[in-house]
Structure 1
Amino acid sequence: MMTVVTRADDPDDPNPTADLTPTTTDAPTRLPAPAPRTSLRSRVLTGPRTGPRSTAAWILLLGSLSALPAFTTDMYLPALPDVARDLHTTDAGAQITMSAMLVGAALGTLVIGPLSDRFGRRGPLLVGLVGHVVTSVLSIMVPNITLLIALRVVQGFFNAAASVTSMAIIRDRFSGAEAARMFSRLMLVIGLSPLLAPTVGSLVEGWGSWHGIFLVLALMGAVLGAVVLRALPETLPVERRVTGGLPAALRGYRTLVRDRRFLALAVVPGLGMAVVMSYVSGSPFVFQEHFGLSSGAFSLLFAVNGLALVASAQVNAALVRKVAPIRLLRTALVVQLVFAVGLVAFAVTGVGGLLGVLAGLWLVLAMQGMVPSNASALALTRHGEMAGTASAVIGALQTGIAGVVSPLVGVLGATAAAMSSVMLGAIAVAILVLAVATPAFRREGGFHAGVPASS
């Protein structure tokens, strides 16, 4: 028997908590219902209820994820000549390990993008990070260049999860000019890759060998996985997910490919990535083999050029508040073309020597920070309802185009003239694509403040 408190029968009492009278009852004691139990799988896929508390924390987390593929590439750069020697291959053979990762990333984005639209962002992201760790560990033990190339393809596939889901998460939470600002802020974090990665890679190689670089990459993937598991919530609710499996994914791709403006805007970041990767894959041979710089000096030079990318991205983040992203994109590409012509002139004639090439490269890369962020934000704004699939197309074009174009530097001789000529060609094609395929590029007002016009 227990004593409970009940209210006296007075339905007109304006203060129902004031008149309480104790009574006795034989009813058993009722304990509070236990909280519903969730499975480990459910907790992993759903994540915490709240994410990072500030925009800066979101940028740091998503930027770190987006930078993982770039860090995996840039950290490996100073070791390319040693990889070629240790695995008994040519300079071009060592460069293929870079292109192989891009090819794998292109395939990965096409698969992981639709999966993130169907199953949410966290699951594919965590699987990708686990795959990154495993392939990094296996790369330590490779006996020949063929196996290393194969592992880099697989590593690129898994790394695509980090970049694709990061873009989709931004689109889940932001749109239009605000998304463009977020992409520009991400460039600050991503831009740390060329500042830090080659230096870290050079130090690790100096302490041991290039194999240690992959051990550090494995540890990075493990740390990011732990942070995602603990701090990143699921940003795509179940009711907004795409159903239908493979047919739905194919329909989504068909819709995107038929959108001429989207496709043009999606190609531009790919050509921009070709500019960067032509520089990234060619620079170790141009500056270390041709100009005779040491590994440490090359790392410092690479960091200085990385500052150009970071600075321009932050200028873009400020300008996009007042200037339409399409106008910024157009201006940046035209100015970049002029600088690229100057770079080719320095490289071909030899005027200015090393300083001439460095000055031209810095100016070209300074404009690059304004190109992918604006083009990607404009493209995603058109198809926010399937941001994962749209991000996959953008990512696949980025890595696919770069993977096809950047090896031309090695084919043409891995000289300063070859590197600068390939960069110039990619910029010229980007301008041509926009001029022909995107009416907004030919007339002002086609996009207003980052939002496509209804017409």
Structure 2
Amino acid sequence: MPAHYFRTVFILGILSAIGSLSIDMYLPALPSIARELNTNASAVQLTLASFFIGLGVGQLVHGPLADRFGRKRPLYVGLAVYTLASAGCALAVNIEMLIGFRLLQALGGCACFVIARAMTRDLFDTQTAARVFSRMTLIMGAAPILAPLIGGQMLLVVSWRAIFWVLTAFGALCFYLSWRGLPETREGAAGEQHWLATAWHNYGFLLRDREFMGNALAGGVAQAGMFAYITGSPFVFIELYGVPPSSYGWLFGLNACGIIFGSQINAHLLRTRRPADVLRKTNNLVAILGLLMLLVAAFEIGKLPGLMVLLFAYVASLGFSQPNAMAEALNHQRERAGAAAALLGGLQFLAAACAGSAVGALHARSSVPMAAVIAICGVLSWCFHMVLIRRATPQAA
């Protein structure tokens, strides 16, 4: 492979990791944020829910803009908003300000992975795109391993506010890498109708496309289970099982290794198997693992170690489902790749916001709410795939 291929995939992976870094780095700080801002666990969890909502809604705007004005200009605007909002989070004086700046941070940052997915669709065919998404997951997977470790260790010497200053610097770094290292993969379409009219048309087409919606919902709802884990794990691990905040990152990073492990096996499997075949089998596994996790949590089988084994397996299964679901969803969407990538991500993070909010609303001195939401996500993922994909009929572009 030429050097520019690896450079492009590396930068796209870095851009795709901005969401994980923005979520995972401050997870160990959630209890301390609640204490310093004089609020409770449910209110602090709203900083996660608002971020998920921003990611879901913002992508629906960035995708059509990327189809209308080219990939790089909307990316620059998004990164500028993300960087300024990260600084705002660091300066927040109450929970309401933090929730608001987290929303803005997400609205800007979501441009990164919308456009990274659209660029991947611009550059590669479906089979290659699935492998590229798997390789990008190797880079993206480092974020949930390193971010909570870094955040936990930072809390030993500095305030949680320093975490957001680090994210501010990361946003500036992404801006520089995008400017210097990424090609423009689609020029703006100046002669076309207004971008809002185009967006309305494209989203209407995609929402009627059973194959697109089946893959998008199956992958998105399965991943929402991971966000239920992200939302609930700081309180389950730290408050319920007494894990020190500085050690939380090690447990979180261990589970994050699962998605790297799964994604790299997936890349190898795709040399001889179709993405759709791997995805079908993985969706069966996701549902089974979710139900087993609920059983273990309800009867406290194995306590924390028992829960960790199933969390690792669930997260590892996403290394198979996510690259293949994305590649299959974008398969026939070359002319509307930006809108398709946006709707794909929007559905994913709106599902994540629902899952995270449900865990927060059900917050209790138990791991059952977190496990129950994960189980529901796993079963719904299987249902969407069964109902929509198996009955999908090809549509004209």
Instruction: Determine if the TM-score, normalized by the shorter chain, exceeds 0.5.
Output: yes
What is the CA deviation profile of residues 10-53 of structure 1, one whole-angstrom value per residue up to 9, with x for unaligned ones?
Answer: xxxxxxxxxxxxxxxxxxxxxxxxxxxxxxxxxxxxxxxxxx83
Q: Distance in 1 between matches of 2:247 and 2:316?
A: 21
- Maintained 8 Å contact 2:67/2:188: no
Which 5+ residue runs of structure 1 have no aligned equivalent?
A: 1-51, 447-451
Q: CA deviation at 1:342?
A: 2.0
Instruction: From the superposition, tell whether residues 240 and 306 of structure 1 become closer, same or farther in structure 2 (CA, over 3 Å).
Output: farther
Which runs of structure 2 are paired with 1:433-452 in the superposition (5 Å)?
Answer: 433-439=384-390
- Maintained 8 Å contact 1:130/1:221: yes
Q: Which has the larger radius of gyration?
A: 1
Q: CA deviation at 1:440?
A: 6.2
Partner residue in 2 for 1:263: 213
Q: CA deviation at 1:378?
A: 0.5
User: Are 1:430 and 2:385 counterparts?
Assistant: no
359-368 vs 282-291, greater mean Cα deviation: 359-368
Q: CA deviation at 1:302?
A: 0.6
Q: CA deviation at 1:205?
A: 2.1
Q: Distance in 2 between matches of 1:258 and 1:428?
A: 23
Q: CA deviation at 1:239?
A: 6.3
2:206 partner letter: L
1:306 partner letter: A
- Maintained 8 Å contact 2:70/2:189: no
SS at match of 1:370: helix
Q: Distance in 1 between matches of 2:290 and 2:353?
A: 20
User: Are 1:185 and 2:135 counterparts?
Assistant: yes
The partner residue of 1:135 within 48, 69, 85 is 85
SS at match of 1:413: coil
1:67 partner letter: A
1:225 partner letter: F
What is the CA deviation profile of residues 36-87 of structure 1, one whole-angstrom value per residue up to 9, with x for unaligned ones?
Answer: xxxxxxxxxxxxxxxx833322221000000001110000100000111111
Which runs of structure 2 are paired with 1:7-26 in the superposition (5 Å)?
Answer: none
Count of residues paired in the alignment: 395
Partner residue in 1 for 2:121: 171
Q: CA deviation at 1:112?
A: 0.6
User: Are 1:342 and 2:292 counterparts?
Assistant: yes
Which runs of structure 2 are paired with 1:101-140 in the superposition (5 Å)?
Answer: 101-140=51-90
Cα-Cα RMSD: 1.8
Partner residue in 2 for 1:313: 263
2:129 partner letter: A
User: Are 1:233 and 2:180 counterparts?
Assistant: no
Partner residue in 2 for 1:272: 222
User: Are 1:153 and 2:153 counterparts?
Assistant: no
Q: Distance in 2 between matches of 1:426 and 1:164?
A: 23
2:25 partner letter: M
User: Are 1:214 and 2:214 counterparts?
Assistant: no
Seq. identity, %? 35
What is the CA deviation profile of residues 126-181 of structure 1, one whole-angstrom value per residue up to 9, with x for unaligned ones?
Answer: 11111111001111111111111111111110011001000000001012111111
Which 5+ residue runs of structure 2 have no aligned equivalent?
A: none
Q: Distance in 2 between matches of 1:106 and 1:230?
A: 28
SS at match of 2:159: coil
Q: Which has the higher helix share?
A: 2
2:225 partner letter: V
- Maintained 8 Å contact 2:152/2:248: no
Q: Distance in 2 between matches of 1:378 and 1:241?
A: 30
Q: Distance in 2 between matches of 1:242 and 1:267?
A: 30
Instruction: From the superposition, tell whether residues 313 and 178 of structure 1 become closer, same or farther in structure 2 (CA, over 3 Å).
Output: same
Q: Distance in 1 between matches of 2:361 and 2:57?
A: 24
TM-score of the aligned structures, taking structure 2 as reference length: 0.96
TM-score of the aligned structures, taking structure 1 as reference length: 0.84
Partner residue in 1 for 2:281: 331
Instruction: From the superposition, tell whether residues 255 and 188 of structure 1 become closer, same or farther in structure 2 (CA, over 3 Å).
Output: same
The partner residue of 1:377 within 315, 327, 338 is 327
Q: Distance in 2 between matches of 1:60 and 1:424?
A: 33
Q: Distance in 2 between matches of 1:433 and 1:241?
A: 38
Partner residue in 2 for 1:36: none
Q: Distance in 2 between matches of 1:241 and 1:203?
A: 52
SS at match of 1:140: helix
User: Are 1:416 and 2:380 counterparts?
Assistant: no
309-318 vs 254-263, greater mean Cα deviation: 254-263
Q: Distance in 1 between matches of 2:195 and 2:252?
A: 44
Q: Distance in 1 between matches of 2:223 and 2:289?
A: 17
- Maintained 8 Å contact 2:64/2:339: yes
- Maintained 8 Å contact 2:152/2:247: no
Q: Distance in 1 between matches of 2:216 and 2:315?
A: 20
Which runs of structure 2 are paired with 1:400-411 in the superposition (5 Å)?
Answer: 400-411=350-361
2:386 partner letter: A
What is the CA deviation profile of residues 351-408 of structure 1, one whole-angstrom value per residue up to 9, with x for unaligned ones?
Answer: 2111111111111111111111111100101211110010010010011111012221
Q: CA deviation at 1:238?
A: 4.5
SS at match of 1:394: helix
SS at match of 1:191: helix
What is the CA deviation profile of residues 178-225 of structure 1, one whole-angstrom value per residue up to 9, with x for unaligned ones?
Answer: 111111111111111111000111122222100000000000111111
Instruction: From the superposition, tell whether residues 240 and 389 of structure 1 become closer, same or farther in structure 2 (CA, over 3 Å).
Output: farther
